[in-house]
Chain A
């Protein structure tokens, strides 16, 4: 039977599981986490079955529309809910469910001491369901449903420990900054309705080359804005660092492997729109290039292991955005890097979680050092992720990132030189800060109190994590080692995505490919060597040194928060205060003034009714006399 029509189950299983866990409440505490794992695993199996079936079909038949129901029937306007099963969405479905399941398993152990573990799994399942809606949707409207769903799940999970005010604030920050991007998405959808009268992919993409460039540019730019919000790209990137407040499995799944890559998915999916608007494409590429450097610079200065990884995520997604902004030549490589990144970055986050687990939830890398002796599995798996992200052949990251750097050098005029150089330099900086993280954590001298030395801080007893945590790390590490090379053989991944991204002739970069490749590797080795000299061969101070101006700026996220506060938050606050003042003084003032004025007049009029008959009589007499005078005067 045709399993493609069962694609809806992919979404339904985790969604039902999430609902069950939330509705049963504490009653399902004992087995809730296993239900969560099971739901995610079932989706993963189904995704693999669908993948196998697609592989069995010819390249041109690998697209199936699964109509579910008419979602919004309103007169001439009908928005139907349907799933689009094609190589791109299935690739994502595999990534989400497979990595998701591994992280679910990991979280069983990682969250075992948390009283709210069941609620955590309910949210994780909700996230999986929403993310699958996002990538499987066949219209922007349904995509937006998933888009908001993952935003909600992200909010709930960042603020999972919301008894800590700081974490709750971080969740709110992520939510609010995502809303800015969502506005872009909404405007893009409205523009689509205005231009095409529909928001489903088929209609929009079919009519895209007939539409005016102005409308296309508006839609494209708004989609880039949406992608910036969700994928933490410049200038909406500030929330990602704070999002590390969530439990580490959340950081691994949502803020590294899947949700933050939704922006890249959006741009690749909207390829036919971006075809029509070079402006929006260029903007996407510039955003990617800026974020790439931004994240890399921030990553060099942070001492919090999770924040370094967050900055690195930002930077790597910058690579993907850059590739997606290059147009069809970059789409496949953007997705390729997204997949390999999903594996090695999730693996490293889980490794960081394992380190925290063994070190009493310490995140400051200056308090680590020499952990390779105590956590062998974590060390080895983390090393795989580290080698993959800095792009040492033959690890995964080399294949995907190298392709992006090559693509960045393709083109005419100033663009290949600028984008290519940025991508190259970014690779070097990436190597530096990731090696810094790796050496500071696992090598060098121990900088924590083991009970025998006289170092400050609470006593630590680093130990390897349980198998439930190490096995997912090992699986992800295997992906980090082999996946990139495997998918590169015979360009199989690029060919697989061709039904979506279109076939692209090979373009020659402005520099010869071997030159680019060698330069990249030299820069990477240089960066890694520098980090080795500074953070492994020589002692790392426990207290952070003051550092140069750049270091201090990078520690403060290049003052992005300050800029946001100065440019948006404070004027916003002033605006709201002015509005509140106007409301109380003018609007309320008018209403209250009317009331108290009436009251005052009533008070005065009341005095006339003094209860003395004689004064009434006097008033009557005066009135009669007055009336007489008027009558007589008018007679004369």
Chain B
């Protein structure tokens, strides 16, 4: 099976993720979109690591996962805190810096 298919899948996942980020108002969903994009990037890294036969790509994928885990924790914490103070999880309502 060609490795190119993985790259195509990665592109599809990234697109879905970015569309989710751009179109959904709910912060949780948008956050999930971000995770999807990260994982698409991971898939690309692993695929290229396999393609070139070295471990660099896979190592970096691990790093990304660690960072993503940390980011999920902080991101969710922020979302929960915003929801508690403003009673909404919509990212369009979080515009305090503008006004």
Taking Cβ atoms with an 8 Å cutoff, the residues of A that contact B are 609-614, 617-618, 621
Contacts and interface: CB of A to CB of B under 8 A. Distances in A.
A621 B23 CA distance: 13
B92 A612 contact: yes
14 contacts: A609-B98, A611-B97, A611-B98, A611-B99, A612-B92, A613-B91, A613-B94, A614-B21, A614-B23, A614-B25, A614-B30, A617-B21, A617-B22, A621-B22
Contact of B95 (A612, A617, A618): A612
Nearest to A613: B91
A613 B18 CA distance: 13
Contacts of B25: 614
Nearest to B27: A613
Contacts of A617: 21-22
A614 B24 CA distance: 8
Residue of A611, A618, A621 most packed against chain B (CB within 10 A) = A611
Contacts of A621: 18, 22
Contacts, number: 25
Residue of A609, A613, A621 most packed against chain B (CB within 10 A) = A613
B76 to A, nearest CB: 16
Given A612-B91, A617-B22, 15 more contacts: A609-B98, A611-B95, A611-B97, A611-B98, A611-B99, A612-B95, A613-B30, A613-B92, A613-B94, A614-B21, A614-B22, A614-B25, A614-B91, A614-B92, A621-B18
Interface string B11-26: 0000000100111010
Contacts of B94: 613
A195 B97 CA distance: 75
A-B pairs, 8 with minimum CB distance? A611-B98, A611-B95, A613-B91, A618-B22, A617-B21, A614-B22, A612-B92, A621-B18
A233 B25 CA distance: 91
A492 B92 CA distance: 110
A617 B21 CA distance: 8
Contacts of A618: 22
A237 to B, nearest CB: 73
Interface in B69-99: 91-92, 94-95, 97-99
Contacts of A611: 95, 97-99
Nearest to A624: B18
A503 B72 CA distance: 117
A615 to B, nearest CB: 9
Majority secondary structure, B binding face: loop
A610 B21 contact: no
Interface of B: 18, 21-23, 25, 30, 91-92, 94-95, 97-99
Nearest to A615: B22
Nearest to B98: A611
A78 B31 CA distance: 88
A610 B99 CA distance: 9
A608 to B, nearest CB: 11
Contacts of A612: 91-92, 95
Residue of B18, B25, B94, B99 most packed against chain A (CB within 10 A) = B18
Contacts of A613: 30, 91-92, 94
A610 B98 contact: yes
Contacts of B21: 614, 617
A618 B23 CA distance: 10
A12 B30 CA distance: 95
A625 to B, nearest CB: 10
A610 B22 CA distance: 15
Nearest to A614: B22
Contacts of A609: 98
Contacts of B23: 614
Contacts of B99: 611
A618 B25 CA distance: 13
B15 to A, nearest CB: 10
A292 B92 CA distance: 93
Nearest to A610: B98
B72 to A, nearest CB: 17
A418 B97 CA distance: 93
Nearest to A625: B18
Nearest to A606: B98
A325 B92 CA distance: 95
A489 to B, nearest CB: 103
B31 to A, nearest CB: 11
A427 B94 CA distance: 101
A609 B99 CA distance: 10
Nearest to B95: A611
Contacts of B30: 613-614
A89 to B, nearest CB: 83
B87 to A, nearest CB: 18
A610 B18 CA distance: 20
Nearest to B92: A612
A618 B22 CA distance: 6
A283 to B, nearest CB: 79
Contacts of A610: 98
A617 B37 CA distance: 13
B20 to A, nearest CB: 10
A611 B99 CA distance: 8
A624 to B, nearest CB: 10
A597 B25 CA distance: 36
A502 B95 CA distance: 98
Nearest to A612: B92
Nearest to B97: A611
B77 to A, nearest CB: 17
A612 B91 CA distance: 7
A611 B30 CA distance: 16
A86 to B, nearest CB: 87
B96 to A, nearest CB: 8
A610 B94 CA distance: 11
Residue of B21, B23, B94, B97 most packed against chain A (CB within 10 A) = B21
Contacts of B18: 621
A569 B14 CA distance: 81
A226 to B, nearest CB: 71
A613 B94 CA distance: 8
A105 B98 CA distance: 83
A618 B20 CA distance: 11
Contacts of B97: 611
Residue of A609, A617, A618 most packed against chain B (CB within 10 A) = A617
Nearest to A618: B22
Nearest to A609: B98
B33 to A, nearest CB: 9
